[in-house]
Structure 1
Amino acid sequence: MNYFLEAFAWIFSPAEWPNGLPLPTAIMQHLLFTFGSVLIAALIAIPAGWIIGHTGRGREVAVFLSGAARALPSLGLIVLLYLVLGVSLKTEAAVTAFVLLAIPSILAGAYAGFEAIDRTVIDAGRAMGMTPWQILWKIEVPLGLPLLIGGLRTATLQVVATVTIAAYVGLGGLGYYIIQGIPLRDFPQILGASIVVIVLALALDGVFAVAQRLVVPRGVAARLQSPQQSPGMRTRTVASTPA
């Protein structure tokens, strides 16, 4: 228990922070690495996932590549890229590793969101005369958004926890205190930095959980809240929402 008290005392005592990196600066660096990596991963994975979900092609390849990317050890990949790219590109090496970590979850959320849509809803859109682009943007994207947000949520939590290893190659962040505290056996510093990482992860998880609920179309939310509706009635409710 004393360790926890000392850890919280360290968090709220600027005099205890190392002179080279104040805690607020480390938090900003940590979040910058997290959001930057997830953003780059989203720009790559979301279009690819939408294409797979819309066309129904390439799912097996996506699953294989996602599984392979999940199996890569992040620390080993950062060190490998650091050695290959050189000291001057160590930031790029770390970001590349974090992007590869985030892509599988976002990709899975993007195409799974489309695959989860009832085909009768899409058929109803075609029957109304909607073009493929209108079906994509007015039916598939809105109805698939909750699962996509879920993929972004998972990817963000994975990255925010893994960014701590960026300090291993001298990139700062909250991992700086952990890497520095291990040889010094400074347990309050190690535990304090770990607590801050946990708080960040919980805060981001809460934000994405709220966002995931907010993006559910009103027609779908009403259907989920009214389980006594007949299947035909539920189909008409969902079909009318994006149109």
Structure 2
Amino acid sequence: MISKKILGMFLVVIGWALAACNWTVGDCYPREEWERGAGASAPIGPPEPIFTSSAAGDFRVAPPGEPQGAGERETQCNKTESSEESSEESPRGSSESSTDSTCSGPGDTAGDGQTFIFCSDACGSKCPTSGVNGFSQTIFNFVTKIEDDGTQTPGGWQEAAVDFKIKRWVDVYPEFWSCKMTIGVPLRNEAQGKISAELAAAISAKVSSTASRKIMKSDIHMPQGIFCFRFTEEMKVRMPEAVKGARVTKP
């Protein structure tokens, strides 16, 4: 009696072992390739079985006369519906590229003089051509605050409240913001003599265009607030160098 029980338990263990051989293990490829040692980087020896499903129809064996590859091959055991859909929608080698969705919309063929436009390399076609982009002197409206009575040097004072408009295009859509400053210039100094509003505007346009370009080139992904702070600080240094006695302040 005991020997029959032991024999029965032994047969149950063998049955479970044979069943495990039909489950998907490791990488998927036809069983005949496992037996022949074919298939790229096939494991050596049978690994621990990984149970991928308990459905009765998952372990179908092709009947005699029917090729193993008929219908769904057993090598498709790791395929999912989502992977099939993604492969159909975006086939490898498709002419559609992810870059089609970047830098959308029309670009600027020429600068408007009020907005300095900065572009990443990928969005370079959206920027004005080199030499055209920058701030125009028309945005610097200098108004006399103190008349020059000729008794002091530098003499008199004029100011322009400026709203520097910035456009940055480094991704799908451009960003827009502005940096506000007040630029003050004497009406007369020793180096330039009399400084007209037109001359002050021309100098300010050149200095601000150079300063903003320098700051943005240091980090084109710089946060907007950080850019305005550093732009203002750069103007505080550059304007007195360009016009003796000039000052830059926040409004």
Bin of the TM-score, shorter chain as denominator length:
under 0.3
Structure whose residues are more often helix by fraction: 1
Give the structure, 1 or 2, with the largest relative contact order (CA under 8 Å, sep 6 or more).
Answer: 1
Q: TM-score, normalised by structure 1?
A: 0.23
